[in-house]
Amino acid sequence: MHIDVLSLFPEMFTGVLNTSILKRAQERGAVTIAVTDFREYADNKHKNVDDYPFGGGAGMLLKPEPLFAAVEALKQASGKKSHVVLMSPQGAPYTHQKAVELGTHEHLILLCGHYEGFDERIREYLVDEEVSIGDYVLTGGELASMVVVDSVVRLLPEVIEHDSHDDDSFAHGLLEYPQYTRPADFNGMKVPDVLLSGHHLNIEKWRREQALIRTAMKRPDLLLNVELSDEEKQFIEPYLK
């Protein structure tokens, strides 16, 4: 998989892409990631990429020419089927399922905005979809694109052990169950006996129950998309707020 990020501030990505799992994923050849300053594609001598909005209003808008030229160049250089994503507070809420879906593309191009917004033709004619990481506004799309890159890459084959993310929160629609490590007794705070029993069926049953409880108490909205047995529906009833 190849990921291109178009940003006016590529230096922001240095630490993120060169540490931890993202660094190892690139070293293993699971993914290649490049960050390009799309100011390089500006068609004026001052390399301006923004201008005032027609009709007036506060702020500046990103011009269409540099981004259209940059995306076309990246598509041609890749030679793969490309999927263009605009990081935008107007986009669909980002989810685990969306991370899985984006990971199926051969080539991702992420567009990071700045200033007041984008010329509408970028949104209408250049991108395949818009993604939002939350109902708030950032100074730019860089941080949002880092979230997308991290969440997509960690799910790619051979990046981390499959079991490490198979039970992640949201992987199956529920929040993750509680987990413990040594010591079994820390200052009188003990690990649940079932986890020390070695009885795998009981452990799995406990983990499912705990995931249901945690989801019911913290994110009951998620349960609307989870298939539950009649027994499980009765089980979580006392925990629903």
Pair 84, 71: CB distance under 8 Å:
yes
> Using CA atoms, how far apart are residues 3 and 153, in angstroms rounded to an integer?
10
24 is a catalytic site residue: no
Catalytic entry in 4, 50, 142, 154: 154
Pair 139, 93: CB distance under 8 Å:
no
Catalytic entry in 65, 168, 209, 232: 168
116 is a catalytic site residue: yes
Helix runs in the chain, H state only: 14-17, 20-27, 64-78, 96-102, 120-121, 142-153, 162-166, 193-196, 200-218, 230-236
The C-alpha angle with vertex 150 and arms to 117 and 226, in degrees rounded to 5, equals 95
- Which residues touch 7 (CB under 8 Å, ≥6 apart)? 13, 35, 36, 37, 38, 112, 140, 141, 142, 145
Catalytic entry in 39, 53, 89, 207: 89
Which residues line the annotated binding site?
Answer: 113, 133-138
> Using CA atoms, how far apart are residues 162 and 151, in angstroms rounded to an integer?
14
220 is a catalytic site residue: no
Catalytic entry in 37, 39, 65, 116: 116
Neighbouring C-beta atoms of residue 9, cutoff 10 Å: 14
Among 190, 172, 228, 194, which Cα is nearest to 240's? 228
C-alpha to C-alpha distances, 206 to 154, 166, 196, 213, nearest whole angstrom? 27, 17, 12, 10
Which residues line the annotated binding site for S-adenosyl-L-methionine?
Answer: 113, 133-138
154 is a catalytic site residue: yes
Pair 132, 29: CB distance under 8 Å:
no
Q: Where in the sequence numbering do the catalytic residues fall?
A: 89, 116, 154, 168
